[in-house]
Structure 1
Amino acid sequence: MKKLILLSVLSLLICTGCEKFLNVNPVNKAYEGDLFKDRFGFETSLAGVYAILNREALYGKEMKYGFMESMVGTYNSVNSSHMYYRSSNYQYDFGAIISIVNNIWSQHYSAINQVNIMLKYVDELPQDQNYYLIKGELLGLRAFLHFGILKLFGPVIPVEGLSASAIPYRTSSEVKLAKFSTAAEVINFLQKDLAEARALLGEDPIRKVARTANQNQYVYEKYNSLIDNRGCRMNYYTILGLQALTAQWAGELPKGREYAEELIKELEPRSNSIHLATSGELSSDINKRMPMESLFSLMNQNLLTQNHIVNPPLEDSRPSNASPLLFANYNYLLGNLYNLSGQGSLNDYRLVNWFTRAANSTVTWKLTKYHFNVSTPFSNLYYRPYFENKIIGLHQIYMLAAEEYADSNPQKAVEYLNKVRNARNITNNIIYDSNKTSKVIKDMIFDELRKENVGEGMLISEYKRLYKPIHRNTIVEPRVVIFKLPIPVDEQTYNPQ
């Protein structure tokens, strides 16, 4: 009977999609108590939360190389019949785009609801050896999910301030109306959850072993075991990274830099753990997206299939206006970013390995960052790095610290900048001198973020955080309406403020 209940719950976890958030109740309340009596029930339900994050509506497509990436200068312009034409022009109130936006909102809150159901029961497991891992992951996931919604739907803080209305921060699984908190209140909730999660995850195995290590006593335990491949779960280092990023989002750069450097200083002596890529590692195609730098990633065996919906294979001969295909704006990125005079390099690993055109083509460049041989078996552990979808990386943490140092210690900022550039095969170091003002250094840091995060879906949030003009063929000046996704009509109707 228990197996049937678990199968039913997993089915609901995986299939819950576009329903109005207030109507979502994926776990049958009659069985909640039975499901969460032991670690297996929590592991299974946690796997369901990660499955939600891997959906095409979220990090399986739209929040990575699809919808979110269509708003910045990564891709060529598309015609008016293209699926992403409206989003590329920041017109969020049209059919297909409304559906994408609504799904991002509702599926985040669906995942939050799963987390809150588990948190309701987790304290009944204090004797389980993995109680601290389970509760730490849950609190970390709740913070991560709310942070994602805040960045997309919340106020433009440099313009509207921290006191502006943001999003509901849900800490209960009860189906009831939820007050919209201000940005400042949401950040306080985030910091509280993250602080508690960090305390619980103090003994996380990832602090002692490699991020991909399997600590299972029995090799046949499945991946969703809490102690297998901690780098692909919400772990201690993810929490510390999120503490840095939430402080940065709140405009508290010195505090963010402190968290970032705490993370850097713990990791740098540990070559077997999370670390900046080495030249030897980059010589292998399996490391093309630098998995060894992942603080948090999602293991997704459908990653290639989902990516090919948007970034077609080299041999795909469909035209560039075929919806929903997107093609790299290569010449613009080459001249205005990767090979920019004074800081660019044609040897940049990312330029060389993430953009390709077919052998018989002299025109059509494709973003092949996520591509690998379609016959590569997910079942073979050696090939697992191909299937990792990086969500938070060490590169981002170095650049966060450098951004604060641009004001307080510009020479240190340049040192950090050169460190990550060297890890991408760029050997012409930036030399610090009196011409390197804070603004000049920050612009270089932002360019470095652009190079690294092409196809990652996160750059529009960085433009929003800094209220910065968007780099495209024609520069797009910042506006509040560009940077705030509209809160779904259903939410406004059923949860009026």
Structure 2
Amino acid sequence: MRKIYKYLIAATFAATSLSSCTKFLDLKPEDRLLEEQVFSSAANTAAYLNGIYVKLGTAQLYGENLTLTIPDILAQQYNMTYGATLSSYYTYSQYQYTSGQVANKTAEIWTNAYNAIFNANRLISGMDKNPGVLTSQTSTTFRGEAIAMRAMLHFDLLRLFGPMYNSPDSVLKSIPYNTSAEITVNPFLPANEVMSLIMSDLSKAESLLSNDKTMTFGKKYKFNYYTVKALQARVNLYRGNKEAALACAKVLIDNSALFPWVDKFFLNEKGNPDRIFSTEMILGIYNDNLSSTSNGYLKLFSGGLADNAILAPKDERLTALYADASADWRYSSQFWDVPGSKIYRTFLKYADVEDRTKPFRNTIPLLKLSEMYYIAAECESDPNIASGYLNKVRNQRGIDITTNSVPATEAEIRKEYKKEFLGEGQLFYYYKRTNTAVIPNGSKVSDTDAPITMGPAQYVIPIPNVEIENR
């Protein structure tokens, strides 16, 4: 881990105006004078926090690796074979974690996640060493945001690199948990201890952000009270505490007016459709390269890409998935039926819009209201109430539930995860959490055609060599 911390993220200094300009300052551990300069200024401290948010939105983390690509490829969301041609991502879909391509990418996630965690810790330490620079309320809020970031990053590292949690393996060694602003080598902890530390951090963040409940669209890119409650719902479900998960999910459901369901008008707005359902977003990140050819939609999903370069579901699988609900807005708005030279539908969720001032442009959702309803449906003991939660989301996706209501079974909830979170990276974690032993093969035309047997070898990504070699 020593090597990881040699590459600290740069602090971002942003002017809070309509056109923000940024510059970067590398803060090396030995440069105490520079560090003191940063945290002795309220503006610079705020810019340092913004720099961590910028880091979360890069391709190395939630701007691509942890959303658009790796988890969804592992979950078999995309077709990896086109006749005799294999996708350039084929090795990922075969869980070949030791191959150079995959090992380098998972090491990239590991390194950048721990960099972001370290910088969150440095923000907390910097504020501690410079009391009075920020107002009491601002200091409390910044501290809550940093701790919540730290918890979320550790949780996603645990979901990728940790053991299958809903099993006896929950006591196996998993990942380090770093709360220090100094360069230290932290021990690998049992997964259940890491989970306890995540829950402790979320509890601290909840207390610190308890008054941060004002929601504007811009606040959906910052950690706040509702973000923390949504994370608590997700984490509690992963650790198997359904009662606590339901209680946390209900906080969001009871305040759902703050996260209104997408309006069909804006979904169908010519040239500017809100395909990510941004009004429902609880937390999102901004990736200003999402519309670029080198990093984002045009690199991953564009119909102009070669078959072996594009990420697209197999057409027959899409048809089968939406067979009972073809009116589903996720089908009609997020896939292109006539993609030029392609003979299959291509994925449009992150296609650019004409109006570049749209606030949801270049945004990737990390937490949405729909997930809270799915969690409630899974955790509610009354089957009628559970079904109501599940069908509420389906109804808000254009499905007539008076004639097409479904029970909140595991199969129906899993189907919703496939539809709702494509390009958001949550299906793989659903499979891992539920210990799903066999999953459909994304390159085959049906669920029964050569399904993939899953276990620890597929669900648990090995700790990268960059961590092992530098201890």
TM range, smaller chain: 0.7 to 0.9
Please state if 1:243 is matched with 2:232.
yes
Tell me the SS of whatever aligns to 2:174.
Answer: strand
Q: TM-score, normalised by structure 2?
A: 0.86
Instruction: Kindly state the Cα deviation for residue 329 of structure 1 after the two structures are TM-superposed.
Output: 1.4
- Contact 1:71–1:460 (8 Å) recurs in 2: yes
Question: 1:183/1:25 Cα in 2 relative to 1: closer, same or farther (>3 Å)?
Answer: farther
The 3 A distance-change label for structure 1 pair 282 and 411 is same
Q: 1:431 to 1:300 in 2, by over 3 A?
A: closer
Secondary structure, in 3 states, of the residue corresponding to 1:425? coil
Q: 1:275 aligns with which of 260, 282, 294?
A: 260
Q: Is the 8 A contact 2:154 2:177 kept in 1?
A: yes
Task: For residues 105-162 of structure 1, give each alpha carbon's deviation from its aligned partner in whole angstroms, at most 9, with x where no partner exists.
Answer: 0100000010011111223246344112111101111111111101100111133432
* 1:20 alignment partner in structure 2: none
Instruction: Provide structure 1 residue ranges, at least 5 long, that are not aligned to the other structure.
Output: 1-6, 17-23, 213-228
Structure 1 or 2: more helix by fraction? 1
Alignment pair present for 1:347 and 2:327: yes
Deviation of 1:203 after TM superposition, in Å, equals: 1.5
1:87: how far off? Answer: 0.4
* 1:108 aligned residue: 113
Classify 1:93/1:426 alpha carbon distance in 2 versus 1 (closer, same or farther; 3 Å): same
Long gaps (5+) in structure 2: 1-8, 14-21, 445-449
CA distance in structure 1 between the partners assigned to 2:177 and 2:288 by the alignment? 31
Listed as ranges, the matches of 1:50-449 within 5 Å are: 50-78=53-81, 82-123=87-128, 124-125=131-132, 127-204=135-212, 207-208=213-214, 210-212=215-217, 229-265=218-254, 267-268=255-256, 270=257, 273-284=258-269, 285-305=272-292, 306-314=295-303, 316=304, 318-321=305-308, 324-335=309-320, 337-339=321-323, 344-358=324-338, 360-361=340-341, 363-373=343-353, 376-377=355-356, 380=357, 383-405=358-380, 408-429=381-402, 441-449=409-417
> For the structure 1 residues 359 and 391, does the alpha-carbon distance in structure 2 shift closer, same or farther, using more than 3 Å as the test?
closer
Describe the shift of the 1:232–1:286 C-alpha distance in structure 2 as closer, same or farther (beyond 3 A): farther
In structure 1, distance between residues paired with 2:37 and 2:317? 57
Amino acid at match of 2:236: A
| CA displacement, residues 269-321 of structure 1 (integer Å, 9 cap, x when unaligned) | x3xx212224344333432110011111012222222323543434x1x4302
Aligned length: 438
- CA distance in structure 1 between the aligned counterparts of 2:424 and 2:146, rounded to whole angstroms: 24
CA shift digits 1:378-416 (9 cap, x unpaired) = xx2xx12122210111111110111012xx111111000
Going from structure 1 to structure 2, the CA distance change for 1:243 and 1:14 (only over 3 Å counts) comes to farther
Match of 1:219 in 2: none
What SS does structure 2 have at the residue aligned with 1:297?
Answer: strand
Identity %: 26
Counterparts in 2 of 1:121 and 1:26: CA distance versus 1, 3 Å? closer
Cα pair distance change 1:34/1:181, threshold 3 Å: same
- The CA distance in 2 between the partners of 1:13 and 1:449, in whole Å, is 39
Taking structure 1 as reference, are residues 312 and 33 closer, same or farther at Cα in structure 2, changes over 3 Å only? same
Distance 1:15 1:26, change over 3 A: farther
> What's the C-alpha RMSD, in Å, of the aligned pairs?
2.5
Are 1:413 and 1:441, in contact at CA under 8 Å, matched by a contact in 2?
Answer: no
Distance 1:295 1:326, change over 3 A: same
C-alpha distance in structure 2 between counterparts of 1:355 and 1:73, whole Å: 17
On the 8 A contact 1:411/1:432 being kept in 2, the answer is: no
Q: Distance in 2 between matches of 1:326 and 1:14?
A: 33
| Structure 1 residue 360: Cα displacement | 4.5
Change (3 A) 1:9 1:417: closer
Name the SS for the 2:88 alignment partner: coil
CA distance in 2, matches of 1:260, 1:325: 35
Which moved further from structure 2: 45-54 or 66-75? 66-75
**Counterpart AA for 2:209:** L
What secondary structure sits across from 1:490 in the alignment? helix
